[in-house]
Amino acid sequence: MKRIWRIFLKICLWFFILSTGSTIIFRWLPVPVTPLMLMQCVNQMFDDKRDLRLKKDWVLLNEISPNLQLAVVCSEDQNFLEHYGFD
């Protein structure tokens, strides 16, 4: 029973370290792939009419209209401006 608890605690610790670490890292680095990109690639794999490709063009936030910035953020999370990214 002690061994099971030790394994469980190690899993919890690694989950905490990885989730906190990735949150800190991706605060400054662009995310390499999003879940939506992966879903679109999978859809393209099964569609014979399309070539498989992953296209992304990251744009700096200050290069986007302020109205579009707010629209994109609000489409993801309507309360983002009140909680600064953490619910």
pLDDT in tens, 36-75: 888 888 888 887 777 777 777 888 888 989 899 888 777 8
* Cβ-Cβ contacts under 8 Å for 79 (sequence gap 6 or more): 87
Count up the domains in the chain and report the number: 2
73 with 40, same domain? no
72 with 83, same domain? yes
45 with 67, same domain? no
5 with 44, same domain? yes
pLDDT in tens, 13-31: 999 999 999 888 888 887 8
47 with 61, same domain? no
67 with 47, same domain? no
33 three-state secondary structure: coil
The angle at the Cα of 35, spanning 50 to 16, to the nearest 5 degrees, equals 160
What does the alpha-carbon distance between residue 9 and residue 51 come to, in Å, rounded to a whole number? 45
pTM for this entry: 0.49
Q: Give the total residue count for the chain.
A: 87
Q: What is the DSSP letter of 41?
A: H
Q: What's the domain range around 64?
A: 57-87
